[in-house]
Structure 1
Amino acid sequence: MTADAQPPSPRREELLELAYRYALSHGLAGMSLRPLAEAIGSSPRVLLYLFGSKDGLVQALLARSRREEVALLAEAGSTDRPADAVRRLWDWLADPAHRDLLRLWTEGYARSLVEPDGPWGGFAARSVEDWLDVLRTVLGPDRSAATAVLAVLRGALLDLLASGDVDRTTAAVHRQLALLGS
């Protein structure tokens, strides 16, 4: 049974939230059920029962991170002027309060590219569509315009996560957005 096929239960949701907080600070790549279970006050056996498998738990955690990211991006992008919305999206991405979520997103994105048959499978493609949906609500229906802005934001985000240089990456985003006419 996949993580999505499990019937909802308050305990499953509670443990998912606790595991999500754990994953934000520890990542998913080397996650082991025993230390995770201990950290969140559960047991590996309960986690396996509720999520079906470790892969099911990873899938549930990735889905949880996508829900948060999409909700926050949609909120950041809600404005009447496209240029203002894109700048607000970048401000959200550059905010240090979102680093853990964005590192988790980056990990899931990269892993889905190299392990398409594992629990990460499809995460990158779904993420692209999530972002394009948000950007099209801001920029209009032109997929190429949304894709161009997405490329700028993603490139700058990866650079920011690697370097921590907010000023340089923000200046680059603003410069590129001016060239794109956003």
Structure 2
Amino acid sequence: MPRTPDPVKREDLLAAVVEYLESHGVNDLSLAPMAEALGTSKRMLLYYFGDRRGLLEQALDASRPKAGNIFRDVTTADGLERASMTLWRALTRGEQQRSVRMLLQVLSLATTEPDTYGDFAKTAIALMLDPITAAFRSTGFTAKDSAARATLIVSGLRGLCQDLLISGDRARVDTAARLMINAAVRTVDR
């Protein structure tokens, strides 16, 4: 009778996998070097995650920015602005900062390797867009305008994250983030 996977060990291993991918990237993911670096075996990675794709899928899911929690109770323009700035801080200073590098890699790879990374990228975008779009809707914007404004927030912050990672110019990029968020939230054509 096969052993049941230990959920605590699986969670610990998943956290180590995410940390490894955040440091080493996802492009040339090979299980053997990862297993060696994590002090485990390729067989154990396969045991807990199924295959390379399953491992990548679970790692990406565990590391995605959690916009839903941030935008859940937003009902006002001020709330939208605060939540958007909270998301920005989480992506650039807080708990989600490290996952941004991996997310940007996956999104970039999806343009050249859509069969491998396209679904991951689409899911990542939807998981950010959906709660932010819902927050705009709850403040009174139309469905179409809400989707466009949420896209501005998600794509704008993603681009600014990339700029910050490359330039390191926090003051300039923080100012740009505030301006972009204010423009998305405060424009009055409802």
Matches within 5 A, 1:31-110: 31-66=29-64, 69-70=65-66, 73-77=67-71, 79=74, 81-95=79-93, 98-110=96-108
RMSD: 2.4
- Measured after TM superposition, the shift of residue 102 of structure 1 is 0.5
Give the TM-score normalised by structure 1: 0.79
Number of aligned residue pairs: 171
Identity %: 32
- Measured after TM superposition, the shift of residue 9 of structure 1 is 4.6
Give the TM-score normalised by structure 2: 0.76
Q: After the TM superposition, which parts of structure 1 deviate over 6 Å for at least 4 consecutive aligned residues?
A: none
Q: Provide Cα deviations, 1:35-82, integer angstroms capped at 9, x if missing partner.
A: 21122221112222333322332222222223xx22xx3344455521
Q: In 1, Cα distance between the equivalents of 2:169 and 2:163?
A: 8
- 1:169 maps to what in 2? 173
Letter of the 1:116 partner, please give it.
P
Instruction: From 25, 28, 46, give the equivalent of 1:27.
Output: 25
Matched, 1:123 2:120: yes
Q: In 1, Cα distance between the equivalents of 2:179 and 2:35?
A: 46
- Measured after TM superposition, the shift of residue 174 of structure 1 is 1.6
Letter of the 1:92 partner, please give it.
A
Q: In 2, Cα distance between the equivalents of 1:175 and 1:139?
A: 17
Q: In 1, Cα distance between the equivalents of 2:93 and 2:149?
A: 24
Q: In 2, Cα distance between the equivalents of 1:99 and 1:14?
A: 20
Give the unaligned 5+ runs of structure 2: 138-142
Give the unaligned 5+ runs of structure 1: 1-6
Query: Contact conserved, 2:70 with 2:87, CA < 8 A, in 1?
Result: yes
Query: Contact conserved, 1:113 with 1:124, CA < 8 A, in 2?
Result: no
Q: Which has the larger radius of gyration?
A: 2
Q: In 2, Cα distance between the equivalents of 1:101 and 1:124?
A: 13
Query: Contact conserved, 1:153 with 1:173, CA < 8 A, in 2?
Result: yes
